[in-house]
Amino acid sequence: MTESLYLPKQAKIKSVATLNTTEKFFEIELDGGKPLGHKPGQFVEVSVFGVGEAPISISSSPSRKKNGFDLGIRKVGSVTGAVHNMKEGDVLGIRGPFGTHFPYEEIKGHDVLVVAGGIGLFPARSIIQHLIDNKKDYGKITVLFGAKNPSERLLPKELGEWKEQLELLETVDKADDTWKGIVGVITTLFPKVDIDPKRTYAIIVGPPIMYKFVLIECKKKDIADSKIIISLERRMKCGVGKCGHCQMNGLYVCQCGPVYKYSDIKDVREAL
Amino acid sequence: MKPKIITKNDFGAWVDSLIKKVGVVGVKEKEAGKFHFAPLETAAELRLDYDVTITPPKKFIQPPKEILLMFEIGNDKFKAKAVIEAKELVLLGVHPYDMKAINQMDKVFTDDNKETNYLERRKNITIIGVDPVNASKWGFWHDMGAATVDKGFDLWLTDLGDRYYVEAGSKQGEKLLSSAKTNDAGKTDSELQKEARLNLKSLCKPERKVKATVNELPSLFGNSYESTVWEEHAKKCYSCGSCNLVCPTCYCFDVREDVDISLKSGRRIRYWDGCLLEDFAMVGHGDNFREERGDRFRHRLFRKYSYMVDKVGDIACVGCGRCSSVCLPDITDPVKIINELKGGK
């Protein structure tokens, strides 16, 4: 008898960092330090017994950590709220990894433009780390990051480090006294980047509302639909293609997503 | 196994022996003219002349409520155990359209990721099907190509008046039948069985005629995504999910925690869910990917006639007519919708 699809694996919180009032960042390790075996862009189901399960994107690249992985989590519901109340050394359950990944093999030899909005930076971080760790395989790496306001600028220390490794442009929707940078929604950054559409892949991760506007900018830059990679959010309850909640027209996003080529889903009416 | 004949008297005695040995869920009359699948206490309760049951037999194959995990609560420990509920059972009196629906569920829970909970339970269920002798006023299973079925069952019965014609679909079925008093079917019996099959066509009412063939349904729906039909029907939809509840091919589920009053332990439980319910596609931060009734209404019908064809290789509507019979505002009848689409709406 094969084991249950629904029994999580034991995992431990190695560290917790509070990023702001709604976001925390967790380093997780499976029991015995076993690797998760994930690829950038995949997700896991995080389990807190007595509360439930929630799908969370993996924030780290396997190229960075051999025995653990990171989860950046916004407190929005009961499960994420319960995880936010946990501390270093606490135990939780993990199922996965699930879903498709960013096509890091296919994009080798190309320039890469990563566009991340808000907590889209968490899943985007997994591919950004991969690109940095395998720099020789890729061309120019550009990251555009937009936050609502400076206090929601996630992982500021790491953003600082990225500036040394790649071209990073940031913007905030609304500035405060501390902010000296660009102000405006994420599309504000597009005119400031110079890309060669023939050799560029764009990777877009952000809130549902962001995609339509960013796609228009990508089209203005002449990037082919097959070179635009997007990661979509849905209600992934089971993660194994059974429960039906994540369905987008005929597609089970937990199976054939969350990462898609735009060319593959542009005619899927419920996609965007 | 060669086809067998069993007299109705011997059949009753055999069913009574099965009730004692393994437990039999069969079709009983719940109230006048309304039937349901329920545990049998005696073979005399069995009504194999039923037209349709209120809910399909799926409730015994994919129960409305099922424990997936037992756990202890606490951030400092990890104590969880998977639960597989798989009781041995004979499911007696399944009509071909419901058998076809079960075959589709078998495929869903086997493909991609094998789901042990479903498959272990399914393995322990012996299915005895029966050719219908009546159809409900809503049934249109003949036009959905679900008047007969060629797999999934362990034994299949055809009513020949004072006796049943019995075919085996599996070794499990043959073994079960070996405890019954049977004779080999003769040439006349086989001819009578063929004739009964041919008569199935006349059981569904003429007003339940579907004006499109099964093969043209996926493209008929595919070309009608923007039709006004969805909104016209859905504006009266209560989003009650009754159509999901009674559908033999609906299998979507939710998973919730049930915590003991001690707050020290609990269970993770799977419940049936329905895509017509308002929050079905809602995510944690409140975005709802199918917020409008019309979108949910269309989604359910597209699942049946278009999307699932890729997943299970067949139309996921078997024409049982149950959704039509339970829909309070009377908007979800597939025959009406298909015929409207076919009429160019």
CA-to-CA distance for A83 and B259, rounded, in angstroms? 18
- Give the whole-angstrom CA distance, residue B124 versus residue B86: 6
| Angle CA A160–A163–A167, to nearest 5 | 150
Chain B residue numbers touching A10 (CB-CB < 8 A): 78
Tell me the per-residue pLDDT of B123-150, one tens digit each, with 9 for 90 and over. 999 999 999 999 999 999 999 999 999 9
Task: Give the nearest chain B residue to A1 (CA atoms).
Answer: B116
Q: Where are the domains of chain A?
A: 9-98, 111-231
Q: Which residue positions in chain B have pLDDT lower than 50?
A: none
> Min CA distance, B246 vs chain A (Å)?
17
From CA B117, how far away is CA B29, in angstroms rounded?
Answer: 30
Q: Give the residue from B84, B162, B165 showing the smallest Cα distance to B124.
A: B84
* B113:A240 CB<8 A: yes
Dist. CA B259–CA B70, nearest whole Å: 10
DSSP string, B85-121: ----EEEEEE-HHHHHHHHHHHHHHHSSS--HHHHHH
- Chain B residues touching residue A51 (CB < 8 angstroms): 257
pLDDT score of A57 more than 70:
yes
Q: How many CA atoms lie within 13 A of A220 on its CB side?
A: 13
**Residues A153-200: tens digit of each pLDDT:** 999 999 999 999 999 999 999 999 999 999 999 999 999 999 999 999
* A17-31: average pLDDT: 97
Q: Cα(B65)–Cα(A41) distance, rounded to whole angstroms? A: 33
Residues 6+ apart with CB under 8 A from A73: A23, A24, A25, A26, A46, A56, A80, A83, A84
Helix axes A156-165 and A121-133, enclosed angle (nearest 10): 30
Summarised one tens digit per residue, pLDDT across range A109-150 is 999 999 999 999 999 999 999 999 999 999 999 999 999 999
CA–CA min distance A7, chain B (Å): 6
A247 near B CB under 8 A: yes
Tell me what pLDDT residue B285 has. Answer: 85
Averaged pLDDT of chain A: 96
A111-231: which CATH number, 3.30.930.10, 1.20.1440.230, 3.40.50.1220, 3.40.50.80? Answer: 3.40.50.80
Angstroms from A3 CA to nearest CA on chain B:
7
Q: Is the pLDDT assigned to residue A18 strictly greater than 70?
A: yes
Q: Which CATH number fits domain A9-98: 2.40.30.10, 1.20.58.710, 3.40.47.10, 1.10.3080.10?
A: 2.40.30.10
Amino acid A2: pLDDT: 61
Closest by CA to B154, choosing from B192, B124, B119, is: B124
